[in-house]
Amino acid sequence: MKNENIEMVGQGVGFERIRRITGYLVGTLDRFNDAKRAEVNDRVKHGLDSGMERL
Amino acid sequence: MITQIVKRDGRTVPFELDKITEAIYKAAKALGGSDRRMAEDLAKQVVAYLEEKNLQTPTVEQIQDAVERTLIENGHARTAKEFILYRSGRTRVREMNTRLMKIYEDLTFRDAKDNDIKRENANIDGDTAMGTMLKYGSEGAKQFDEMFILKPVHSKAHADGDIHIHDLDFYTLTTTCCQIDLTKLFTDGFSTGHGFLREPNSIQSYSALACIAIQSNQNDQHGGQSVPSFDYDMAKGVAKSYRTLYRNNMIKALEFEGIEDADSLIRSTLEKVEAETGLWPALNADNGFHAKEAELLIPVIGEEAYKKAYDFSRKFTDKEIDRHTYQAMEALVHNLNTMHSRAGAQIPFSSLNYGTDTSPEGRMVTRNLLLATEAGLGNGETAIFPIHIFKVKEGVNYNPEDPNYDLFKLACKVSAERLFPNFSFLDAPYNLQYYKPGHPETEAAYMGCRTRVVANNFDPSRSVVTGRGNLSFTSINLPRLAIKSNHNVDFFFEQLEREVELVIDQLNERFKLQAGKKVRNYPFLMGQGIWIDSDKLSPDDTVGEVLKHGTLTVGFIGLAECLTALVGKHHGESAASQNLGLDIVGCMRKRLDEESRRTGLNYTLIATPAEGLSGRFVRLDKKKYGVIEGVTDKDYYTNSFHIPVRFPISAYEKIRLEAPYHALTNAGHISYIELDGDPVKNLDAFESVVRYMKECGIGYGSINHPVDRDPVCGYTGIIDDVCPRCGRREGEAVSVEKLKKLGVYKHLNASTLGCCGNADEEADRIPNTL
């Protein structure tokens, strides 16, 4: 802490990252098994502008 | 002269010739032999051989080698084979005992972050006492089932990774899942253990009991719990609440007007109308109730007083009913995210299907459930349960002129913010064939991650979703079959057919065990009549006949890797591969349809969800066949028929390619689209993806996008490295002063860190391009 007079919060608190795994939402990547963690890391986004017909 | 031998554990014990004789005799006997004298002679030869080799104190292994050798040399090849099988069986038992103890050691002394088994299921906290106890039980049961319950051929196929028997730990205990008919359950009340729960009379009680039903049933089954028509089920609760609220408001209004005995006057009037016409005060004011009410009340209290009281009651009741319904849905979402089952280790896996009830009460349920989900949990967190499935149907909610179109729009918005609801499509031909308007039990529903049960070959007149579910499922390792086929497609199909036969046999074996269970083994599922026709059984009846309404299911994993191994390209890369993929999945489905016709049971095909399995098969295959590019070069096999997650493809192309597999996988399927950026900023694009799914014949789909949250300032949205609201990095502290300036600081309490979202700030977010 830089200055003892400044009140700080949040030290050590991480961000929550909600992801879907086999259909279920999970609030933290920590609970994913090794294989699913690898799969989540590999996921690429699907673009919407591929010249395909839009409805 | 041999007098001693060395046992496996290193101890030296006296040598006994009889033990060798006995082992040989047992092997011979297994083949129908009964010549004990010959066994003795052979045993003596074994000893002679050992002495000749100068092994004065042989080990058990050396003796067994000598037995095999002696048997073969004397022309007893088949007995030798039997002996080898016995020997390898014993070795496996020994190894498993050691392996189990090693697993127990890891469960005991290692944290979940270092122990993959503790993270096999992401919704179980493996670090808690009950979570670990659950794993002890589960791992022990799996090994017991592998050693003593499964047919050796099934056990071997499972252990080797040719197939995967899901929920093996529950093999002898229960079935997978069930679609719960809450309307039926609530009618005349039910019981969950001690005491009786009367039929509920308000929407709050309806939603509370819905949670209790889901929790109770979760303890009787190993899969998820689904409510197929949640809006229809809850609508009656809204109607009952409306009746009570209207009555109370009328009494208040008349008392305020100074009318004596308003309480008994209104109560008796409502009872009279209901007795004569069956009508209640309802959200739909034109239902005829008020005409009848006015007829009875005006002569007593006069037209003016009645008109005044009526206007007052309508106005306040309409407002209150909405509030009550919202609170009931909010409580439900909170409950389903916090209540526990399975000795406290796990939140029940709950799924709610809704969106098609067009009654004012049903619409109110759907709208408020969506709004409560949009609001999030206590600190604005995204709820992870229940899984919401919005049923999309033309004429009901798909087009602007449809009565529930507003709810479809709202569902898209909430999904863009909170990842739920997912969308199911009742117009897909394979779903539409069961659909009967006005009969929600014929609307295809999805459970948990993707399971689907509608068709009923056991009793086609009851092709309904309610009271039915999957009994068990087993998945086939498609990539391995392809690797073994060495690019020979014909050979691949031969093997695939054999594998399906093997799995059908295994499912039948499991069904025999399940069928022998009794009603009292499932106090809620069967004891309270949740499962179809179980209400006709007594506690000591077996459940085999009623279970025949359930499904026996074959699944598969890694179609993409399978195609790559077979022909060099997966179905996202080549049209020929796509056709081959459809042939492969179609071949499995065809065989299961035949089996259904032949037996009168329900054999179905699922696109396996595969959480624990995604890594297991590829690990085994890598060990066996090495790293093969595009096949075993990752730590996971691609889910079911999905296009590989790292393959670049547009959302529309992915939907178009995956849709035909939905038609083939009648036991369940799902397609995912990963959207970049914040879809809330482009709801039209979000909706266009959902609509494209419907037009392509997808049965069940879901759109993924990043939903992050900073618990310190409460920001929900996309967070890369730095929180866009408070500017802190992961793990960094931020000054209270800054939070106060942002207007998001509430209280300094480490355990309740977090504040409500700031609507102004969130409106200022820069839209990410789609």
Contacts 24+ apart (CB under 8 A), B759-764: B761/B715, B761/B725, B762/B715, B762/B716, B762/B717
List CB contacts (< 8 A) between B692 and chain A: 54-55
Smallest CA–CA separation between B214 and chain A, in Å? 16
With beta carbons less than 8 A apart as the criterion, state whether B174 and B222 touch.
yes
pLDDT given for residue B764 in this prediction: 38
- What letter would DSSP give residue B162? S
- Residue A6: inside a domain: no
**What residue in A sits closest to B617 (Cα-Cα)?**
A35
Whole-angstrom distance, CA of residue B663 vs CA of residue B405: 26
- At B185, the pLDDT band (50, 70, 90 cuts) reads very high
- Choose the closest CB to B674 out of A25, A26, A43: A43
Give B256 or A26, the one with higher predicted confidence.
B256
Question: Within an 8 Å CB–CB cutoff, is residue A2 touching chain B?
Answer: no
Interface touch B614/A7, C-beta < 8 Å: no
Residue B97 has pLDDT above 80, yes or no: no
- Residue A28: inside a domain: yes
Question: Within an 8 Å CB–CB cutoff, is residue B710 touching chain A?
Answer: yes
pLDDT given for residue B338 in this prediction: 86
In this structure, what is the dihedral angle of CA atoms B98, B100, B106, B112, given to the nearest 10 degrees? 150
Does residue B75 sit in helix, strand or coil? Answer: coil
pLDDT given for residue A31 in this prediction: 67
Question: Within an 8 Å CB–CB cutoff, is residue A13 touching chain B?
Answer: yes
Task: Report the residue of A6, A13, A52 to disrupt the B interface, i.e. the one with the largest count of B CBs within 10 Å.
Answer: A13
Residue B769 has pLDDT above 60, yes or no: no
pLDDT given for residue B130 in this prediction: 82
Interface touch A20/B381, C-beta < 8 Å: no
pLDDT of B483-501, one tens digit each?
A: 999 999 999 999 999 999 9
**What residue in A sits closest to B691 (Cα-Cα)?**
A55
Task: Over range B603-622, report the average pLDDT.
Answer: 91
Interface touch B650/A47, C-beta < 8 Å: yes
Number of domain units in chain A? 1
Task: Over range B176-185, report the average pLDDT.
Answer: 96
Smallest CA–CA separation between B311 and chain A, in Å? 45
Give the burial class of B350: count Cβ atoms within 10 A of its Cβ; 0-12 exposed, 13-18 middle, 19 or more buried. buried
With beta carbons less than 8 A apart as the criterion, state whether B229 and B237 touch.
no
With beta carbons less than 8 A apart as the criterion, state whether B290 and B297 touch.
no
List CB contacts (< 8 A) between A34 and chain B: 116, 119, 615, 635
pLDDT given for residue A29 in this prediction: 67
- Residue A4: inside a domain: no
Task: Over range A33-42, report the average pLDDT.
Answer: 82
Smallest CA–CA separation between A30 and chain B, in Å? 7
Residue B401 has pLDDT above 80, yes or no: yes
Interface touch B646/A17, C-beta < 8 Å: no
List CB contacts (< 8 A) between B730 and chain A: 14-15
- Choose the closest CB to A8 out of B723, B731, B733: B733
| Interacting residues of A12 by C-beta distance below 8 A, sequence separation 6+ | B731
Residue B759 has pLDDT above 80, yes or no: no
Task: Report the residue of A3, A4, A19, A24 to disrupt the B interface, i.e. the one with the largest count of B CBs within 10 Å.
Answer: A24
List CB contacts (< 8 A) between A16 and chain B: 381, 708-711
Smallest CA–CA separation between A2 and chain B, in Å? 11
Smallest CA-to-CA distance from B617 within B558, B555, B565 is with: B558
Residue B581 has pLDDT above 90, yes or no: yes
Kindly report the backbone phi and psi dihedral angles of residue B79, in degrees, each rounded to the nearest multiple of 5, phi listed first.
Answer: -65, -40
With beta carbons less than 8 A apart as the criterion, state whether B605 and B470 touch.
no
Task: Over range B50-79, report the average pLDDT.
Answer: 89
Whole-angstrom distance, CA of residue B392 vs CA of residue B386: 18
pLDDT given for residue B760 in this prediction: 40
Query: What are the strands of the beta sheet with B470-477, ordered from one edge?
Result: B163-165, B470-477, B551-557, B602-607
- Listed by start position, the domains of chain B span 4-87, 157-177+475-517+535-656, 706-770
Interface touch B381/A33, C-beta < 8 Å: no
**What residue in A sits closest to B754 (Cα-Cα)?**
A10
Q: How many CB atoms lie within 10 A of CB B53?
A: 12
pLDDT given for residue A35 in this prediction: 80
pLDDT given for residue B625 in this prediction: 96
Question: Within an 8 Å CB–CB cutoff, is residue A30 touching chain B?
Answer: yes
Give A39 or B124, the one with higher predicted confidence.
A39
pLDDT of B50-63, one tens digit each?
A: 999 888 899 988 99
pLDDT of B448-458, one tens digit each?
A: 779 999 999 99
- Residue A37: inside a domain: yes
Task: Over range B641-658, report the average pLDDT.
Answer: 95
Question: Within an 8 Å CB–CB cutoff, is residue A3 touching chain B?
Answer: no
Whole-angstrom distance, CA of residue B222 vs CA of residue B137: 13
Question: Within an 8 Å CB–CB cutoff, is residue A4 touching chain B?
Answer: no
Interface touch B707/A18, C-beta < 8 Å: yes
- What letter would DSSP give residue B124? B
Question: Within an 8 Å CB–CB cutoff, is residue B648 touching chain A?
Answer: yes
- At B761, the pLDDT band (50, 70, 90 cuts) reads very low
Q: How many CB atoms lie within 10 A of CB B32?
A: 6
Interface touch A10/B712, C-beta < 8 Å: yes
Task: Over range B166-188, report the average pLDDT.
Answer: 94
pLDDT, averaged across chain B? 91
pLDDT of B427-482, one tens digit each?
A: 999 999 999 999 999 999 998 779 999 999 999 999 999 999 999 999 999 999 99
For chain B, state the CA radius of gyration: 32
**What residue in A sits closest to B745 (Cα-Cα)?**
A9
> Within its chain, how far is the Cα of B340 from the centroid?
16
pLDDT of B111-124, one tens digit each?
A: 877 777 777 766 66
- At B736, the pLDDT band (50, 70, 90 cuts) reads confident
- At B527, the pLDDT band (50, 70, 90 cuts) reads very high
Interface touch A8/B735, C-beta < 8 Å: yes
Which uninterrupted H or E stretch holds B198? none
Q: Which two tokens stand for residue B63?
A: 């003796």
Q: Determine the structural domain holding residue A28 and report its residue range.
A: 15-43
pLDDT given for residue B77 in this prediction: 84
- Residue A54: inside a domain: no
- Taking CB atoms and an 8 Å cut-off, how many pairs form between chains A and B? 192
Task: Over range B405-409, report the average pLDDT.
Answer: 98
pLDDT of B331-342, one tens digit each?
A: 999 999 988 766
Alpha helices in B166-261 (DSSP H): 182-186, 203-218, 230-256
pLDDT of B238-291, one tens digit each?
A: 999 999 999 999 999 999 999 989 999 999 999 999 999 999 999 998 899 999
Share of chain B above pLDDT 70, in %: 95
Task: Over range B28-34, report the average pLDDT.
Answer: 83
pLDDT of B346-361, one tens digit each?
A: 788 899 999 999 999 9
Whole-angstrom distance, CA of residue B10 vs CA of residue B681: 71
